[in-house]
């Protein structure tokens, strides 16, 4: 296991018998019916099995993927067995010239590959110039430095997990930039059955409740990483508060919903109803049409 995985796993099994060992196997593994591992399990852990009474073997990749990259619908033999405690769900503004979006110079260039971030940034600051960027976190940071762009926006949890603590990163609160559904959350995906039970000790119930509410928003609007959709659930005074947002790519239209409930199962349903009453479905049609037109023009 790498250092981050040990931090997540070790505390949950601190009271396990001394003769219980954990091992992460890195070999490629076809988990179900010969389907390719990476295509099947875009997740943190693959198959967990107990090979003898004193040895638990975890078979999977050596890195943990974010829940926001995991499809809402997956193979029926797979389950999300655990949601470890969530890291910081916020985005950060990486910039030497501003600590908040409102402080950026007029016409500032902002690197982002996310339509969710682009839409919200333009809703706040229509004068900003969005510069498309692809690649991993290090690549995006390097491109910001090389291009001379005033800023880029990244996930706080991603920077922290990579140990990139020296960057000029400034957390953005939800009133500036609402996070992606599942941002900062990891998911332990396993085969159903014994594997699911073995990983249950990693679960953090408040994180699970928030994750399920946010993923229900994604399911309701058919969202994926290409849709300007945001959702953030958190516990406040014993109730689950869910805020969700759908925005036009150019920031010209925003539909927002916010619901609080003591019933986590009801909060997402109520939030979706609120958004639909405010025109979310019509906006969604316009977003899809705009995206199709943009692709056709390339």
pLDDT of residue 225: 66
Is residue 284 located within the same domain as residue 220? Answer: yes
Query: 238-254 pLDDT, tens per residue?
Result: 999 999 999 999 999 99
Residue 116 near residue 246, CB atoms below 8 Å:
no
193 & 222 share domain: no
Tokens representing 71 are 């499809």
One domain, residues 78 and 190:
yes
Answer yes or no: is 241 within a domain.
yes
Do 190 and 61 lie in one domain? The reply is yes
What is the spatial distance between Cα 201 and Cα 195, in angstroms, rounded to a whole number? 11
Question: Is residue 105 located within the same domain as residue 160?
Answer: yes
CA angle 56, 57, 63 (to 5 degrees): 125
pLDDT digits (tens, 9 = 90+) for 131-165: 999 999 999 999 999 999 999 999 999 999 899 98
Q: In this structure, are 7 and 37 located in the same domain?
A: yes
Residues serving a catalytic function are 68-69, 116-117, 134, 140, 225
Answer yes or no: do 35 and 81 share one domain. yes
Considering the domain architecture, whether residues 138 and 267 belong to the same structural domain is answered as no
Residue ranges making up the domain that contains 235: 216-297
Supply the pLDDT for residue 71.
77
Task: Say if 132 falls within a structural domain.
Answer: yes
210, part of any domain? no
Same domain, residue pair 76 and 191: yes
Has residue 179 been placed in a domain?
no
Q: Are residues 67 and 27 in the same domain?
A: yes
Read off the DSSP letter of residue 152.
E
From the list 221, 218, 188, 182, the residue with the least C-alpha distance to 202 is 188
Residue 194 and residue 60 in one domain = yes
Show the low-confidence residues of the chain (pLDDT under 50). 1-2, 4-5, 10, 13-64
The pLDDT score that the predictor gives to residue 215 is 93
CA distance 140 to 134: 7
The answer to whether 264 touches 212, Cβ cutoff 8 Å, is: yes
C-alpha to C-alpha distance for 219 and 43, rounded to whole angstroms: 18
Task: Determine the 3-state secondary structure of 283 from DSSP.
Answer: helix
In a domain, 277, yes or no: yes
Tally the domains of the chain: 3
Q: Are 22 and 79 contained in the same domain?
A: yes
Distance CA 130, CA 37 (A): 35
CATH code for position 265: 3.30.160.40
Residue 178 lies in a domain: no
Residue 272 in any domain: the answer is yes
The model carries a pTM of 0.79
Q: What is the pLDDT of residue 154?
A: 96
180 inside domain: no
């Amino acid at each position: 296991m790498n250092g981050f995985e040990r931090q997540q796993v070790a505390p949950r099994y601190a009271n396990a018998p001394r003769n219980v060992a954990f091992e992460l196997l890195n070999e490629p593994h076809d988990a179900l019916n010969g389907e390719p591992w990476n295509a099947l399990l875009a997740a943190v852990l693959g198959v967990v099995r107990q090979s003898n009474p004193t040895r638990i073997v975890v078979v999977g990749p050596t890195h943990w993927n974010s829940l926001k990259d995991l499809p809402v619908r997956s193979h029926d033999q797979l389950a999300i067995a655990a949601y470890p405690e969530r890291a910081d769900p916020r985005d950060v503004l990486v910039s030497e010239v501003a600590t908040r979006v409102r402080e950026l110079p007029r016409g500032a260039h902002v690197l982002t590959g996310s339509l969710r971030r682009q839409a919200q940034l333009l809703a706040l600051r229509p004068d900003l110039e969005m510069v498309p960027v692809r690649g991993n976190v290090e690549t995006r940071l390097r491109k910001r430095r090389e291009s001379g762009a005033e800023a880029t926006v990244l996930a706080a949890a991603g920077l922290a997990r990579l140990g990139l603590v020296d960057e000029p990163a400034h957390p953005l609160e939800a009133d500036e930039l609402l996070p992606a559904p599942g941002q900062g959350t990891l998911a332990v995906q396993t085969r159903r059955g014994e594997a699911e039970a073995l990983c249950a000790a990693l679960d953090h119930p408040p994180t699970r409740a928030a994750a399920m509410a946010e993923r229900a928003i994604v399911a309701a609007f058919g969202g994926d990483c290409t849709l300007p959709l945001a959702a953030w659930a958190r516990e406040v005074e014993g109730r689950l508060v869910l805020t969700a947002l759908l925005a036009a790519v150019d920031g010209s239209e925003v539909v927002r919903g916010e619901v609080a409930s003591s019933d986590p199962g009801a909060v997402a349903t109520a939030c979706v109803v609120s958004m639909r009453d405010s025109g979310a479905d019509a906006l969604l049609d316009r977003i899809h049409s705009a995206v199709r037109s943009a692709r056709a023009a390339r």
